[in-house]
Structure 1
């Protein structure tokens, strides 16, 4: 995307509208498509690099903050975790009765010795 913006700025500053049409003329039809494809690839690479940077920065911050907050609020976190485990076990029991018990089981295969 930045390549396309840069290209448009250069064209507007130099008054080079003829350059754009030259790229897509009959003499050089592939060059225009190459420019479009290259700018598309570069924009994807830039996006991936940005997402990678954000992911690494977020992971770094979380890895340093979670232990500090756990030490500060250890009792509250442990109490919440116990309550959550009880609720998860209740929900799994209901799921087991309503869904998992209704799945038919086929005959068991005997192992060859």
Structure 2
């Protein structure tokens, strides 16, 4: 209904809709990346194949993790540190310069 009211207005008059990410850009980008990965995997394989691979991974990965817990934790902490470093670099260089609008609350008619 909000879109119906927005038709015919100039872009500056259209209210900002944060339904997609709720103002959380990081979460929004994670969802977009996850959907993209799911689409790529879905284009490679049949649904039953993806379901079978998921079933096999759900039963084998916990055992492998328990067996090699120290190596996996060290590797994942290294990867996480690298991602955080790159995110901080992007945040200070680019994301912090994007203007953020103020939330004025819901308008009641």
Q: TM-score, normalised by structure 2?
A: 0.50
The structure with higher relative contact order (CA 8 Å, sep 6+) is 1
Q: TM-score, normalised by structure 1?
A: 0.48
Larger Cα Rg: Structure 1 or Structure 2?
Answer: 1
